[in-house]
Amino acid sequence: MIALLTRDLRLAIRAGGGFGLGLAFFLIVVVLVPFGVGPQSALLSTIAPGILWLGALLACLLSLDRILALDWEDGSLDLLATSPLPMEGIVSAKALAHWLTTGLPLVLAAPVLGILLNLPVAGFGWLVASLALGTPALSVIGTFGAALTVGLKRGGLLLSLLVLPLYVPTLIFGAEVARRGAEGMALTTPLALLAGITCGTIALLPFASAAVLRANLR
């Protein structure tokens, strides 16, 4: 499992594209928002937590089809499936690798982009915390979507259609934590619910992803 993880990480970093692309997309989304809504800093600072969460979510979505599609095309997914590692372990390692290469950089970059959107000072810590808690769920749910669409020729659009509704609860609670953090309100409830969603998806969704992948490889 660790070997698979390091292999995926190395591929993501060296094969180009995956690693930096999500970050660049995140940056561009955040830069485009003021053009769309106007440069008033008061307005920007109210919508900043939501925009940052949405941007992170979309950047995450963008890189989902790379989780499994490349391995599917060159046949290494079949080899992995015949290995002694259970399918649940494979999808978990894949999701973890996706989070390390996409989610974690997004979490680290978010405060910098928060400055661009005039995020209130109190919000920075909670923004990072909510993203750090929420993005693993995005990766795990995304892996499920990637497993569903792996065999399809043009699965990219379908993947977003399938995954985005599944992202709703995570987005609601994540953005709520970031917003309340920025406004200095009590945020224990959404924080606990966000953590609950992340833990629940990490614990349960790999089984669904593995079942889907097995059906796809049959």
Partner 1 sequence: MSLNALWEFANPRKFIATTDRVLPWVAWAAALMLVAGLVWGFFFTPDDFRQGSTVKIIYLHVPSALMAINAWLMMLVTSLVWIVRRHHVSALAARAAAPVGMVMTLVALATGALWGQPMWGTWWAWDPRLTSFLILFLFYLGYIALWEAIENDDTAADLTSILCLVGSVFALLSRYAVNFWNQGLHQGASLSLDKQENVADVFWYPLLATIAGFVLLFVALVLMRTRTEIRARRMRALLARERMQA
Give the residues lining the site for partner 1 (CB under 8 A).
144, 148-149, 151-152, 155, 158, 161-162, 164-166, 168-169, 172-173, 176, 189-190, 193, 197, 205, 208, 211-212, 215-216, 218
- Measured from the CB atom, the residue of 104 and 211 that comes closer to partner 1 is 211
Core vs surface per residue 88-117: b (16+ CB within 10 A) or e: bbbbbbbbbbbbbbbbbbbbebbbebbebb
Taking the CA atoms of residue 79, residue 163, residue 137 and residue 80 in that order, the dihedral angle to the nearest 10 degrees is 0
Q: CB–CB of 29/59 below 8 Å?
A: yes
- How does DSSP classify residue 15? S
d(CA 143, CA 67): 7
Residue closer to partner 1 by CB (options 104, 158) is 158
Question: By C-beta, is 12 or 208 nearer to partner 1?
Answer: 208
The CA distance from 215 to 143, in Å, is 15
CB of 159 to partner 1, least distance (A): 10
Query: Least distance from C-beta 106 to partner 1, angstroms?
Result: 22
Q: Which is nearer to partner 1, 6 or 189 (CB)?
A: 189
Cβ nearer to partner 1, comparing 108 with 192: 192
Q: What is the smallest separation between the CB atom of 217 and partner 1, expressed in angstroms?
A: 10
Could you tell me the smallest distance in angstroms from the CB atom of residue 206 to partner 1? 12
Q: What's the CA gap between 211 and 217, in Å, rounded?
A: 10
Do 60 and 138 contact (CB within 8 A), yes or no? yes
**Structure-token match 């941007």, residue found:** 55
Tokens of 121: 């000072």
Residue 91 Cβ, how far from partner 1 at the closest point, in Å? 13
Q: In this structure, what DSSP letter does residue 85 have?
A: S
Q: Least distance (Å) from partner 1 to the CB of residue 28? A: 25
Q: Residue 126: helix, strand or coil by DSSP?
A: helix
Residue number, 101 or 135, with CB nearest to partner 1? 135
